[in-house]
Amino acid sequence: MDGENIFRFGDADREIGFHRLTSEALSILSAEQIDLFNNVGYLTGLPGLGHDEIVELRQYLDWLIDEVISADDRRNNYSINQYHQVCGPLWDLIHTPIFVSYVTDVLGPEAVCWSTHMFCKLPGDNMEVPLHQDANYWPFTPTKSVTIWLAIDDVDRENAAMQFVPGSHLIGDLEHVELPLDGSVVLNRRVVAHEAYDNLVLNELRAGDVSLHSDLLLHGSPVNSSDRRRCGIALRYLAASVRTVRGGESWTHSAVHVENGDPSGYWPNRPRPAVDEPHKMARFLGGFDGNL
């Protein structure tokens, strides 16, 4: 621990804790799946996009990835974060009917998607996603959000599948250390005493399938030492009743409503981009893609 900074989102007004789901008014998940999510903090191997849909999306993302990493700027293969604001197909992905059904079963009918982030591990990629809780990064209260992780490629142990710590969403707010952005990590925080969490479960998925996980679940992924790409997209949704802490208001700007959206009007509802303009995000860099 010497020389490392302990990080905790230090706002006393945050309500941090897992909100158990109920089995009322389900549209797609079963009561058994709700119980499982409550107990382990995730569901995996769920249907997502069909074969033709994932092939079409992969072709678009192949183009987008090449546009980003071949541009004359500092972006890399992890920089495709919040691009639903400038890329119509990613905005459309948020509204995929089966995804909205999963989200409303978990969060209720008033929900928004505030973030999309592609995690594209190229063959031989030496960047690790350290073990972390999403809620440690996000200035939201209460912690009532869920991530849909869509596999663009087949994902398994060989090409650095994501790893979950079952039940860790029930532990509460965990301390994290800040890590140097030295080219070895995507996301610059790791849970303290990460070596103690040795009951990791692989989130292996076929292309087009999805997993769901709580914002308090510990998860991460190792380097991809294989000769296969491992690409997935995290779609991050929260209940419309969630708010930002003071100073975090800018985090609302990327929001898109789903189902009944936000009747209160706190969360904006960004319209679909008229044209694809990924170059507009060239200056959006940070710890999420390992950039200083």
- The model's confidence at residue 147, banded by pLDDT at 50, 70 and 90, is very high
Q: What pLDDT was estimated at residue 292?
A: 82
Q: What pLDDT was estimated at residue 285?
A: 96
Contact between 155 and 214 under an 8 Å Cβ cutoff? The reply is no
Q: 288: number of CA atoms within 13 Å, CB side? A: 18
- Alpha-carbon distance 279 to 292, whole Å? 19
With 90 as the cut, is the pLDDT of residue 5 above it?
Answer: no
Give residues with Cβ within 8 angstroms of 227, minimum separation 6. 123, 124
With 50 as the cut, is the pLDDT of residue 1 above it?
Answer: no
Q: What pLDDT was estimated at residue 3?
A: 33
9-13, 47-51, 82-86: the lowest-pLDDT one? 9-13
155 - beta bridge partners? 205
- The model's confidence at residue 270, banded by pLDDT at 50, 70 and 90, is very high
Q: What pLDDT was estimated at residue 12?
A: 59
Q: Where are the alpha helices (DSSP H) in 2-143?
A: 31-40, 51-69, 88-94, 97-107
Q: What pLDDT was estimated at residue 2?
A: 31
With 80 as the cut, is the pLDDT of residue 9 above it?
Answer: no
Q: 283: number of CA atoms within 13 Å, CB side? A: 1
Mean pLDDT value across residues 57-62: 98
Segment 209-268, tens digit of pLDDT: 999 999 999 999 999 999 999 999 999 999 999 999 999 999 999 999 999 999 999 999
| Greater model confidence, 229 or 13 | 229
Contact between 232 and 48 under an 8 Å Cβ cutoff? The reply is no
Which domains are seen in the chain, by residue range?
5-10+36-289 (2.60.120.620)
